Structure 1
């Protein structure tokens, strides 16, 4: 009889994850072009508990942001990782990191996105970064597109809504696969491919007012991303057969607000339209429930000959998951609109209303494993909070508590036989928030002395959680006290 492990397997990887657009800075250095992340303005009046979209705007608003000399755009500056990556990686290695997930800024490699020849200066930066990750004994996990689309592809082509962009992405992916063959084993093609329409600007390159039917345009762009990922997988099989190429979901598994059958069924329908993104990429075809939804909503998604074969023959190797919190669905107040949901009254509120739910972590991972039976990679999990520096120390027991409870549930999954590749704590060093463009929403085990306006010394300070996570890694997840 097959037995299950008593804890995490010996080859399980512990580490953390960041994104180029939130950490690197030097947005115009060495030939890099503007990207979707560079026009995300910091708004000090933002309603943290009700952020409906990340950046973007109309073409006129994009042009205004490009020419704005007054506003502060934090993702252009990050935490200066472009210059400090060796020191920062050394701190992560001190914690015992076995893996480090980051992304490549597409516009560093192809500044406008449509060039025929890549930018060598941009590639040279990633040569150094990836070599340093490997030198320190960490497994690099690299995301090809993490809300960082060349801005020219948005303003001139309409992003992934334009089928021509598939070819531009394929050229970019081919450069990466060839350049880092034998160095990068794990590739995530698109970050959180399902997190639309909230991040449709950064993820799909769709701008406001681009169509009279934005939902149809969105799903057409998603279809083109599916094809781009399949093209990348097809390239990977030829260029580097040892590479593992995966997709990634932001967990949006909802609970029904009550046991009223109307709540239960609407929740099921909402959850299936989140599974849809992985169903296509892991099962290789559009599911019937999604086709019925498109028909009911009169959404005409254009397929071309060969699309279905490409998807069927090039399914992804693993599923990466980001998990932070959970929410509920009520048939009385919510609909199929993904922006409608309710907060769970059984969970404690936070400033950003990402209510901690460790059991939701166990629930969602179990559902993904049961549904797909492919290896799971925890691409993001973490706790954003307002940290206070007191006498040069940050006593972030709340963060330790969050991680302890979530890793306990992850270990429960491992003990039930879920195949797990890695656990990447989100933002192991403080970075600019993706959703709100704040520095004050801090996730890290390492504090970075910058404020929301980019002012500060940039000093790195170890938080209390630094030593705690070091112990977790050294014990392979068995020591969580």
Structure 2
């Protein structure tokens, strides 16, 4: 047996979001997901939308007890902009929503679970998307800052860890390049504008937080995906460099290193995609400082030099590379045969340590997807056998431990997710939770991975069998 000890006061927890768990009851305003599903349910797996999902709005006390039952000492979720704010222009809060979030956060704190609260998890209010184009508009960055300031004033005394955005590149990709988020546009120049405006909204929210002088920390959660090459050829390495520039450094460098990569500006200019910006807005972004970084990781990216003509009539990053599947790779048969590469965790940690000032960070999401059939039924002991997850999580955590031993400044791990939750257009196609959600009864049923995680969290040690 080998035992891997993690740093003292390490965060062991789970991650989720408001729109994926709360349900839509008592919300004054729909988000783009509510309205998109209402108009096009066929875009969503089995037509399931965000109306009820985990029903956390009413079951949060039960759920916090389940968190405590499996040893969580921290939990990340989000405040829904469309739930908390009554008047988007002024930032005035809805009192019913204020009571819910206060009660939810207090319940966690009373049970010894540190709430880590995110402000934006893809859920633009429909009214702001319709009226202004969402983050296509600079005005909406001001409205986001007002929302953030309201949240900070209301909850800032009890919430010690805030993040502004979860995976800010995803609404850019999904909504403006690849058609898997609303507004389903395909426009490279508009994608760059939205990306810049999201960074501007982030910086304005951080400024609001600093001005309130609260006793806490603020950061951002980025999905970082290392790019691995088909071969050692110069052409393949250049392809990977472009993929890293456009998918990782595009947000990492401005938000952590306080600079926009000159090469990124050159790429956007060459493809007529430079956003409209002001010097003051650039200065605000590059002068904004975060206290910590959240990192989401699921699968690696493999690329090769482009060998076939680029055939889209608008710009996407794939102008500079082609995606590649490693014929010798390991793949998850329960999630579209996505590659499994635990080594990527170590590579991400080394990159942050070597190139980003070894900023304090935590693994804000990691998860292994399975479906209901592969998880199997409830066994005689009342536990669902998802042991497939456990072995893979152990491999990833061993790589994280190796990075920490070499100086990586990582302070926690949050697994996606606590209870099987609704996942955008995939709905409940894939399951990730420590607990299974029965879509008919709403019952939560524990899985074996949760019991494994409980032992890990309570001991702060990972013990594995030597092979």
Instruction: Please confirm whether the aligned pair reaches a TM-score higher than 0.5, indicating the same fold.
Output: yes
Aligned to 1:207: 183
Aligned to 1:132: 107
Q: Is structure 2 residue 453 aligned with structure 1 residue 477?
A: no
Aligned to 2:9: 11
Aligned 1:208-227 pairs, distance under 5 A: 208-209=184-185, 214-227=187-200
* Distance in 2, Cα, partners of 1:206 & 1:390: 37
* Distance in 2, Cα, partners of 1:294 & 1:332: 18
Aligned to 2:421: 431
Aligned match for 1:442, one of 417, 421, 431: 431
Q: CA deviation at 1:231?
A: 1.2
> What do residues 357-378 of structure 1 show as CA deviations (whole Å, max 9, x unaligned)?
1111211222122211211121
Which structure dedicates a bigger proportion of its chain to helix?
A: 2
Q: CA deviation at 1:344?
A: 2.7
Aligned to 1:422: 412
| 1:290–1:206 distance in 2 versus 1, CA, 3 Å | farther
Q: Is structure 2 residue 301 aligned with structure 1 residue 331?
A: no
Per the normalisation by structure 1, the TM-score is 0.86
> What do residues 418-463 of structure 1 show as CA deviations (whole Å, max 9, x unaligned)?
11122100112211124512x241111211112xxxxx21111111
Q: Is structure 2 residue 34 aligned with structure 1 residue 38?
A: yes
Q: Is structure 2 residue 362 aligned with structure 1 residue 380?
A: no
Q: CA deviation at 1:399?
A: 0.9
Mapped contact 2:249–2:261 kept (Cα < 8 A)? no
Q: Which moved more, 1:229-238 or 1:364-373?
A: 364-373
Aligned to 2:239: 266
| 1:73–1:475 distance in 2 versus 1, CA, 3 Å | same
Q: Which moved more, 1:391-400 or 1:185-194?
A: 391-400
Aligned match for 2:348, one of 364, 367, 374: 364
| 1:158–1:36 distance in 2 versus 1, CA, 3 Å | same
Aligned to 1:82: 57
Aligned to 2:22: 24
> What do residues 96-146 of structure 1 show as CA deviations (whole Å, max 9, x unaligned)?
111000011110012573354221111211111111111111111111000
Mapped contact 1:279–1:287 kept (Cα < 8 A)? yes
Aligned to 2:266: 292
Aligned to 1:52: none
* Distance in 1, Cα, partners of 2:195 & 2:182: 11
- How many residues align? The count is 442
* Distance in 2, Cα, partners of 1:473 & 1:435: 32
Q: CA deviation at 1:276?
A: 1.7
Q: Please state whether the residue corresponding to 1:22 is helix, strand or coil.
A: helix
Aligned match for 1:165, one of 140, 149, 156: 140
The CA RMSD over aligned residues, in Å, is 2.5
Aligned match for 2:330, one of 311, 331, 347: 347
Mapped contact 1:369–1:418 kept (Cα < 8 A)? yes
| 1:36–1:179 distance in 2 versus 1, CA, 3 Å | same
Q: Is structure 2 residue 166 aligned with structure 1 residue 181?
A: no
Q: CA deviation at 1:234?
A: 1.2
* Distance in 1, Cα, partners of 2:82 & 2:180: 15
Mapped contact 1:17–1:101 kept (Cα < 8 A)? yes
Which structure dedicates a bigger proportion of its chain to strand?
A: 2
* Distance in 1, Cα, partners of 2:346 & 2:365: 14
Q: CA deviation at 1:206?
A: 6.4
Structure 2 unaligned segments of length 5 or more: list them: none
Aligned to 1:53: none
| 1:357–1:205 distance in 2 versus 1, CA, 3 Å | closer
Mapped contact 1:428–1:446 kept (Cα < 8 A)? yes
Aligned to 1:458: 442
Q: Is structure 2 residue 293 aligned with structure 1 residue 319?
A: yes
* Distance in 1, Cα, partners of 2:415 & 2:425: 17
Q: Please state whether the residue corresponding to 2:173 is helix, strand or coil.
A: coil
* Distance in 2, Cα, partners of 1:207 & 1:407: 37
* Distance in 2, Cα, partners of 1:204 & 1:153: 19
> What do residues 57-94 of structure 1 show as CA deviations (whole Å, max 9, x unaligned)?
xxxxx8x34999xx844222211111111111111111
Mapped contact 1:31–1:119 kept (Cα < 8 A)? no
Q: Which moved more, 1:325-334 or 1:150-159?
A: 325-334
Mapped contact 2:75–2:115 kept (Cα < 8 A)? yes
